[in-house]
Amino acid sequence: MTLRNRSRWLTPVAGAVVLACSSQPVRWTGERSLQSSVAGVSLAADGAFVDDSLARRAATVTPPAALCAGSLRLARAGRILYAAWWSPRPDSLARLLSARSSDGGATWEPAAAVDTTDHGATGCHREAPSIAADSSTGYVHVAYALLAPEGPGLFFSHSMDGGKSFHAPVPIVYGDKLGRTSVAASGDLVTVAFEDPNSVVPRVGLAISRSMGHIFEDRLLPVSDDNGAAARPLVALQGHRVSVAWQERVAANGDVVLRVRTGTVH
């Protein structure tokens, strides 16, 4: 049984997201709605939103390799700035690359390959990756959607040497809808919020690693429900405190709201 088929077996026909284990990996303690959009803001670990200065900075940064427009994402750890982006190839495939800068993006070290296994000949028509850098461990974490040789899905890779090289990617979940991701890290804990690629009603899920991203012990945790179409996830961590936000179109009236859910990872 292939990895892709094994994921399909874990996902019910109705498209509902299931728990990866019988216990409750996250104890959710709060939820709220805001009349806002996810675009242009970052999620703080306490569930508050702040201006996304890194998103604005990305518009002025030139990485050390060809760039798919709109795909550049930045993360900061101390004085070091990290970037991840899709780099187009002449055959309409793309490489996922990363680099680091110690001067705020003015100059960059040589790019490192995060994932070069793309089989989706869509050029630059793909969702941007997400990136997080943890100053406490020196790790750099990247989550992204990709049509891999074994099938389409959401994947994760990390660097243990400050972005100089990346480990072989690990799958989070396979599915045909290649959507957006958001990654956050705090010490041993890494979380990836994602647009579920298998759900009938668009929804947001959460994957959790307690081993710095080496493995994800919990991969298919539901965060949003079926009351509206959920998209554009954001996740933040502070210790074991997790906050997840997403943009949701309410089924009853079509309004778009920003939902924020907070809890503690066990």
Does the pLDDT value for residue 106 go beyond 90? Answer: yes
Residue 56 CA to residue 63 CA, distance in Å, equals 15
56 in any annotated domain = yes
- What percent of the chain has pLDDT above 70? 89
pLDDT of residue 16: 35
Write phi, then psi, for 57 (nearest 5 degrees): -65, -35
Tens digit of each residue's pLDDT (9 = 90 or more) over 3-57: 333 333 233 333 333 334 447 899 999 898 877 667 677 888 777 777 678 888 8
DSSP H helices in the chain: 3-10, 53-58
DSSP state of 15: -
Give the residue-averaged pLDDT of 66-82.
95
Residues 71 and 124: beta-carbon distance below 8 Å:
yes
pLDDT of residue 1: 33
14 in any annotated domain = no
Sheet containing strand 94-101, edge to edge, reads 73-77, 80-88, 94-101, 112-115
Does the pLDDT value for residue 112 go beyond 90? Answer: yes
Decide the pairing of beta strands 80-88 and 49-51: unpaired
Residues 163 and 100: beta-carbon distance below 8 Å:
yes
pLDDT of residue 45: 75
Give the contacts of 45 (CB within 8 A, at least 6 positions apart). Answer: 236, 237, 238, 241, 242, 243
pLDDT of residue 6: 33
Tens digit of each residue's pLDDT (9 = 90 or more) over 131-143: 999 999 999 999 9
152 in any annotated domain = yes
Does the pLDDT value for residue 187 go beyond 50? Answer: yes
The residue ranges of DSSP E strands in 62-209, in sequence order, are 73-77, 80-88, 94-101, 112-115, 130-134, 139-148, 151-159, 170-174, 181-186, 189-195, 204-209
Does the pLDDT value for residue 193 go beyond 80? Answer: yes
CA angle centred on 61, ends 212 and 75, rounded to 5°: 20
Tens digit of each residue's pLDDT (9 = 90 or more) over 169-178: 999 999 999 9
Give the residue-averaged pLDDT of 100-107.
94
Place of tokens 């429900």: 225
Collapsing DSSP to helix, strand or coil, 56 comes out as helix
Residue 206 CA to residue 220 CA, distance in Å, equals 6
CATH number where 104 lies: 2.120.10
pLDDT of residue 50: 76
**How many domains is the chain built from?**
1
pLDDT of residue 37: 67
Tens digit of each residue's pLDDT (9 = 90 or more) over 124-167: 999 999 999 999 999 999 999 999 999 999 999 999 999 999 99
10 in any annotated domain = no
Residue 185 CA to residue 196 CA, distance in Å, equals 20
- Domain span including residue 49: 24-265
Question: How many other C-beta atoms lie within 10 A of the C-beta of residue 10?
Answer: 15
Give the residue-averaged pLDDT of 89-109.
96
149 in any annotated domain = yes
8 in any annotated domain = no
User: pTM for this one?
Assistant: 0.89
17 in any annotated domain = no
Give the residue-averaged pLDDT of 181-185.
96
3 in any annotated domain = no
Mean pLDDT value across the chain: 88
Give CA 52 to chain center in angstroms.
16
